[in-house]
Structure formats: C-alpha cells, structure tokens
Amino acid sequence: MWRIILWLTMLALIASCFQSDNPAENRARRAAKAKGNILVGAAGPWVTLDRMLWQGIQLAAEEIDANGGILGRQLQIVKEDDQGSVREGQIVAERLAKNPDMVAVLGHVDSYVSVSTSILYEYFGILMLSPTSTSTKLTNQGLRRVFRIVPETEAFAKTLAELCEVQGFRAMMIYNEDMDVAKDLANQFDDEADARGIDILDRLTYEATSGPKIFKKDLRYWKEMFTFDAIFLSGTLPEAALFIEEARKQGIMVPIVSGDGIDAPRLLELVSPEEDSIFVATTFRSIDDRQEVQAFVKDFSEKYGSPPDTAAALGYDALKILAAAMEKAGTTVPDKIAETLRTSQGWPGVTGIHIFDAHGNVMGPEIRINRVANGRFQHFLF
C-alpha cells in the first residue's frame, strides 16, 4: 500500500509541472505542433553495461539523420544512466517526463527497472520501447504505450527446453540468480522441461554477491548427491561465468544451458577458451546472409572496431522501428505511433520481423541458440 501511495504522490508532484491535469494530452498536443528536433530518451546502465546497446542506438540515429531524419526533422537522443537501479530508474523517468518535448524512450535495459518505470511513462504520455526487457510483467499491466522488441521470457524458456529435449537431456539441475527476471525464466523453464519429460532433480538459488565459495559448496553437493545430464543456468554476468568456471574446476563437465542474460561478448572473456559446452539463447545471428544484416555488421564493425553483439542489434532495431512508425503515422504523437506499431503487418529489422500484439509484446524475432566453442559464439542448429 505504501508503494502505491508513494507513486501517486510522486505522479501528482510531477504533474504539477504540466499545464493541465492530463499531462499525456498536453504532450500529444505539443507533439502534434512540434517542428524542431524529435526528442527520444535512451535509458540504461550505460557506465557499467558490458554490451553494445548504446552503440547500436547511436549508429541507427546517425543513419536516420543522414537520410533526412524523420518527417523532415532531426533526431535528438537524450542519454540517461539509470545505474541498473529501480530508484535511479524512476529518477531518470521523472527527469525525461518533465521535458514536454520528449515523445519516446528506448529503455530500460533491466526488466525490473523497465517494469517499475513503465507506469510513469504511460501516465505522462511517453511511448516506451524496451530493446532488452523480457519480463512478462512489463506488458501484462494493460498499458497502451509500452512495447518491447525482444521476445518475452516464456518464449526463451520454450526454445531452451526444446533444445534440451532434442539433445537428449533427461535429468537436469537448475541454478538461478535471486532476481525476478532470472527466477521467472527458471520457473518457465521448469514448467517447459516437465512438459517434455525432463526431470529437474534439484534447484538452487544464488545471490548477485555470491562467489566461488558458494558455488563450490553447491556444486559439490550436486556432484555427491545426483547424476545429471546438464545444468540450466539463469543469471547474469560476471557471476554466471564464475559459476561455470567453478563447475569445471569441480570436474562437472556437463553442458550449461542459459538464457540471454549471458548473451554478451564478455562471456567469452570470462570462461576458458577451451570451453565448448555452453548453449546460450539469442535473437541475433551476425552470419545471417540477409542484405540488411550484413550491411549492419559491416557498418558497425567499421565504426566501432568490433562486430555487433545482440544488444547492439536490438538497440539498432528499436530506434529504426520507432523512426519507421513515426514516418508511417505521419506524426510524433505517442498514441498515434503506438497505434501504428500495433496495426501494421510487420517491422523488418536485423533481428527479424517484428509484429506487435495488443499488449505491446513482439511476435518474433526468432530465438536462436549460440554455442560457445573455440573462444567464440557459433550458431547451433538443432
């Protein structure tokens, strides 16, 4: 109850900065008449983020402006760091909402931050398009202006369970980080595994502050008590990589299956170069022979000196899709953009075709599997 009261108080205070009692309508009226730069926020833990999301957004913005902008206007990306914190995320959302010319936000990165800020963006009439948040909670709130371009947790769980079934894993362990999105993926995988006849022999949880000592204890327990084919790991870096390293030290060489929480180049730096049994869910395949994918990989690599990761592709797609929706709608009014996103047949991108449902969920792109082998990610067909 106190959280609801706090939210209502905060929203009322921010609303006092606007011209009337309906800030969403104020924003829409202003956007309908605007002629200057188009303001779009980009919110995430930029200082600590070990992925190339910002670079993908930046490249897309440069290409859009170089090709004449949107509706004859140039983009202005307002970069805000939420430090991966719910509290800081709300402060960032408040700051963006106070700008009456802000029409959309690309963000946030972490699902728990996105969920906590989405209601504020909705209240103030800002379209929210998250490139990386997979939590089902984000789009289950009945909000009209909230979208994501990455599949939700359930879709990742289904693909990963299918992989395990095809690979013949009949007995598995689950190890998940004690955070909502990691627990959600582990829960969904548990259900999907059960439906496919895969036995989950044990499940343990670790903290973000856990280290080799805790991992060693848990792994030794498993090794002494169970015989299993694979481990489902739901967490983030660097802790997930430390767990994998400790498992190998303990002589546990079974495959590790994981979600997109560890789908980052940093994983390759943290695990042994001899590692060849880590399977990671992803939504981007840089070797895709589609012309737009190869052009993106080439341009990104030339600009930044390294090939794009999945986050870069998602950031790139997010802004390109937003820009295309504005052009098609013929306006930067957030509600008109939202309606266009929902009612169009599909939005092409380097991660695939994006079709949005009534709740803002994306149907597609296809979830693929990368296998870590020879110090790099390799596309794995199953």
CA separation for the pair 102, 126 (Å, rounded): 7
- pTM for the full model? 0.90
Tell me whether the CATH fold assigned to 2-151+290-363 matches the one assigned to 154-282.
Answer: yes
Burial 82-96 (b: 16+ CB within 10 A, else e): bbbbbebbbebbbeb
pLDDT value of position 18: 46
* Tokens 């180049």 found at: 265
H/E stretch holding 369? strand 368-373
> What backbone phi and psi angles, to 5 degrees, belong to 160?
-70, -40
| Side chain identity at residue 187, one-letter code | N
Closest CA to 246 of 210, 281, 282: 210
> What is the CATH topology of the domain spanning 2-151+290-363?
Rossmann fold (3.40.50)
Q: What are the sequence ranges of the domains in the chain?
A: 2-151+290-363, 154-282
Based on its alpha-carbon atoms, the radius of gyration of the chain, rounded to whole angstroms, reads: 21
Backbone conformation region of residue 135, classed left if phi is above 0, alpha if psi is from -120 to 50, else beta: beta
- As a dihedral over the C-alpha atoms of residue 314, residue 317, residue 318, residue 324, rounded to 10 degrees, the angle is -170
- The CATH code for residues 154-282 is 3.40.50.2300
Q: pLDDT tens, position by position, for the chain (382 residues)? A: 455 445 545 555 555 554 558 999 999 999 999 999 999 999 999 999 989 999 999 999 999 999 999 999 999 999 999 999 999 999 999 999 999 999 999 999 999 999 999 999 999 999 999 999 999 899 999 999 999 999 999 999 999 999 999 999 999 999 999 998 999 999 999 999 999 999 999 999 999 899 999 999 999 999 999 999 999 999 999 999 999 999 999 999 999 999 999 998 889 999 999 999 999 999 999 888 899 999 999 999 999 999 999 999 999 999 999 999 999 999 999 999 999 999 998 999 999 999 999 999 998 789 999 999 989 999 998 8
pLDDT value of position 137: 92
Please check whether residue 227 is in contact with residue 255, taking contact to mean a CB–CB distance below 8 angstroms: no
- DSSP letter string over 61-102? HHHHHHTT-BTTB-EEEEEEE-TT-HHHHHHHHHHHHH-TTE
Closest CA to 310 of 353, 263, 271: 263
pLDDT value of position 9: 56
CA separation for the pair 121, 124 (Å, rounded): 5
> What backbone phi and psi angles, to 5 degrees, belong to 310?
-65, -40
